[in-house]
Each structure stands twice: as structure tokens, then as C-alpha cells.
Chains A and B, each alone.
Chain A
Amino acid sequence: MGFLAHSRERIRLSRMRRRLASEPRPHAIAELARAYLGLGEAEVAAEVLQSGLSLFPASAELARVRLLVASEEKVRRLRAAKELVQRRPCPQAALELADAYRSLDRWDQHAQVLREALERYGENGTVLAQLGELRLHRFLESAAAADALAAEDLLRRALDVEPEALKPRLLLAELSYRVGGVPHARAQIARLLAIAPEHERAARLRDALEREQPGDAAHAEDFRSLLAEVEERMRLLHGRLPWEEETAAEDAAARERAPFAEPGAEAEALARISGAERVLLIDERGAAWGAARDGAFDAAVRDLAALCQRAARGMELGVPASLVVEGESGAFVLEMKRGALAGLALPARVDAGAAAVAARDALERLVRG
């Protein structure tokens, strides 16, 4: 936008802002914030939203736009970090880029940048500690010994580079504690509290460790042996490791869950869960079930599915998966999978993204069933 057009738009928005001060309306406030965002003035947009939310704290639209403004700030930070990495590559720039990805929950890119930084700049305490933390989180999800070993290796290397660093030592203590290595964990916490006696999280972990019974502890010297020892002891005690039990229970639950027993009831359930006014489910053979269906809605679902096929094929976009048509008074969501369709008509208050997730789940079960 040229300087003149920019100034004109700013004047228009200032007037709108003054009008809204005397007669505030949530939708208009959200539009104003969006317009400021369009001008690249995220701070003013945030200010407008803040005052709007103080007047209309329950407004879902204002809350959604605030989320967008926050995301815009994060995107800006990411752009700046990318530029910095190109202009002046160094470990700090890489860490800033990794952190920007992390703030956006882009965990794959976060890990990728850290790994590249490690290859490019060699052993760096902060990079190693962050990679160790990632691997520790993965271990907590996977309960795989390989993740625990990798996390331990990375955190120890971080401490080799910076022996006084608190975070990798705390994470190492937590990792040891979680696999039952109480003496290992105690040793790390004692060292950490010697460096930082006021460290609250470390103190809480120390208290938890003190409550552990002496007989419960594993004693192996190195971490690999410690893991093996813990596994062996758990097997002797319980016949199966706790995470193996959880996995087995999940498998059993998945087997027990009926795969789309009654499509009509599923369509009703989908309407209830998603908040949709109308729902239509069509299987790959063309059989249809729905909630509050009518002829126009059924025709729209089928026509739009055919349209998606044509458009995706014509533009070489592959297989169509979803279509969302958003209007001011509501939205239409169409999910497609292997010839089966789920169409939903949503009122304006319902989040189309969440409804699409529910529709995808129902469709998945319909196709599997």
C-alpha cells in the first residue's frame, strides 16, 4: 500500500475507532482489529482487542481475533529470526529461529534447526539441552528405552559443555527419577541445589525423592544398565512393564470400540458433538444417513463433492479431502474420504475447524466400518 493510501486507511480506522468508543459492538471491534492487522499494525490491533474484550469478555469472535494477533506476532518473530540466520549465522541466531518455531508449535522444524545447529557449530550447551528436552518429552510419550538413552546422552553432553547449567541437570534428574533411578536423581539434584539452593522445581523433586523407599531404588552405575535393571525389576514385580500394560489396554479398548455400528445414530451423534444444524453422511456405495436433512442440503453435499473432485484434478492438487465454505451467518463443512462424504451445516457460533475434526472422525469410522 502506498503512503497516501496507507494514511487514508489509518484516518478511516481512527474515525471508526472513535465511533466505536461511543457505541461499542463486538463484531465491529473485531473488524477494526483485523483491519489494523491488515495494515501491519499488530500492536494497535492488540490494543483495540484488549479494550473490546474488557467490554465483551464472552465474545468468541474477539477471542479468536486476539489469537490471530498473537499468531501474527509469532510469525513476525519467525520472519525476523530467518533473516537473522541468513544475515548473521551463529548459534544464537539458530537458537532464536528454533525458539520462534517452538512458539508456533512447529516442533519438527524446531528440532531440525537445533540438529543443524549442532552439526554446523559443534557442541553447544543450550542446543544440546533443548534437544535433550525434546527427546525426554518423546520418551514420556513413547516410553521407549531408545528415547530415554538418547535424552540422557544429550543432557550429559550439555553438562560436559556447561557443568554449571541448571536446566540439563534438572532434566537429567527428572529422567532418572522417572525410570526409577532414585540414587542417580538424588545425586543430580544435590549438585543442582549446591549451585542454586533456591531452585523451586529442584527442591520439589528433592522432596519427592526423599519420600521414596530405599528398597524401590535401582542402583546400576551407568544409565543403560540402570534402564535394564529397572525393566528387569518391573518385570519380576508385575510381569509386564507399566507402559506395556497401558499399550495393551489401549489396544484392547480399540478392539472393543464398535466400528460405526449404526450410521443413523452416528449422524445424530455427530450433529450433537459438532453443534451442526444439519448433517449428512454418505458411504462409498451412496447410502445416506443424516440429521435434520432436506433436499437442498443433500444436493449441495453431493454437488460440492463432485466440484471438489473436478477442481482438485484440474489443478493437479491430488485427492480432495475437505471443503469449508465460510459465510457471515454460518459455515458449510464437507469432509471426503475414499468415496464417502460427511457434510455439515454450521451456525455462526460454531467453530468450523472443530466441527471438521469431528466429521473426519465419523467418516474414518464409517469407512473402517
Chain B
Amino acid sequence: MREAVRQLKQRVGVRGALVMTSDGMVVAADLCDGLAPDSVAALASAAVGQALRAARDLRLGRPRRVLLTASFGRLVFVPVDELMLVIVTEPSLDLELTLLEIAGPAQRIRELSRLNAPL
């Protein structure tokens, strides 16, 4: 899992990536300097929890992803089965390309989480 996250971080424009449980526990992380995994996970957990609650209230169906774009960066949350993949990218990156860059590693993390899941 750590290797998958490390590879994700190496993608163009990706500042950091983190896999966490829904309650904010860090499973694997590779973030740029200045971002502490535990703080990011705590914030991300609160943010994504609220966004997913809103998705449920608004009847948006099973969540696919949450994107937050700000002046200095973009946050992408992708649910991976029971886990959550959080990616911090440059704000200027083309969104479709960013999602493409993420698709492969996200699939790999999904595979790994299934392999590690208790039987």
C-alpha cells in the first residue's frame, strides 16, 4: 500500500497522497513537507464525512469522488471500498488528466485493500 501511495505522489502535479480509514486513521501516506499525515487525515475525515452525509441527504447515490479546488491546491477524495484515498494536487492541473493519473493507482490500492481484508 505504501508503495502504491509513493507511486501516486510521483505523478505530475501530485503533492501528496494518503490512504485512511473512514474514522481518520492513516493507513499509508506520502505527503510533501509541511503537511502532517495525522492532521491531514483528521481534516479530511471531517470534510469527507460531511460531504458524504450531504451526498446521502441529497440522494446522490453511492459516492464516486469529492473534489475541493482552492487557490493554492486541489483535494481529491476517492472512496476505495472501506478506505478513503486523499490526494493533494496543484490547482492548475487539468482535472480530467488528474483523475486519469489517479485512476491506475486507485485501482491498485483497491486491489491491495481487498487482498488485506479479513476473510
Cβ–Cβ < 8 Å partners of B96 in chain A: 67-68, 71
B60:A331 contact, CB within 8 angstroms: yes
Q: Report whether A323 and B51 are in contact in the complex, using a CB–CB cutoff of 8 Å.
A: yes
Instruction: Given A75-B101, A307-B51, A331-B60, decide whether A353 and B68 contact each other with a Cβ distance below 8 A.
Output: no
Residue interface mask B80-115, A partner, CB < 8 A = 1 = 000000001001001111011101101110010001
A332 touches B69 (CB 8 A): no
Per-residue B-contact encoding for A295-319, CB less than 8 Å = 1, 0 else: 0110010011001101110111111
Chain A residue contacts of B70, Cβ below 8 A: 308, 312, 317-321
With A327-B64, A329-B61, A331-B60 known as contacts, the answer to whether A315 contacts B73 (CB < 8 A) is yes
Stretch at the interface among A31-39, A124-132, A152-160, A285-293: A31-39
| Cα separation A304 to B112 with both chains bound (whole Å) | 32
User: Which residues of chain B have C-beta atoms less than 8 A from A307's C-beta?
Assistant: 46-47, 50-51
Q: CA A244 – CA B21 in complex, angstroms?
A: 60
Count of residues in A whose CB is under 8 Å from the partner chain: 48
Contact A332 B111 (CB under 8 A): no
B5 CB within 8 Å of chain A: no
Most chain B Cβ neighbours within 10 Å, of A9, A34, A327: A327
Residue A264, interface by CB 8 Å: no
A237 lies within 8 A of chain B by Cβ: no
Instruction: Using CB atoms, name the residue of chain A closest to B96.
Output: A71
Within 8 A of A (CB), among B1-54: 34-35, 39-40, 43-44, 46-47, 50-52, 54
- Kindly state whether residue A40 has any CB partner on chain B within 8 Å: yes
Q: For residue A16, give the distance in angstroms from its CB to the closest CB of chain B.
A: 14
- Which of chain B's residues has its CB closest to A303's CB? B50
Q: Could you give 22 example pairs across A and B, Cβ below 8 Å?
A: A1-B111, A67-B96, A68-B99, A68-B103, A75-B97, A75-B101, A296-B57, A300-B57, A303-B50, A311-B68, A312-B68, A315-B43, A316-B72, A318-B71, A320-B68, A321-B69, A323-B51, A325-B66, A326-B60, A326-B64, A326-B66, A328-B64
Chain B residues near A (Cβ < 8 Å):
34-35, 39-40, 43-44, 46-47, 50-52, 54-55, 57-75, 88, 91, 94-97, 99-101, 103-104, 106-108, 111, 115
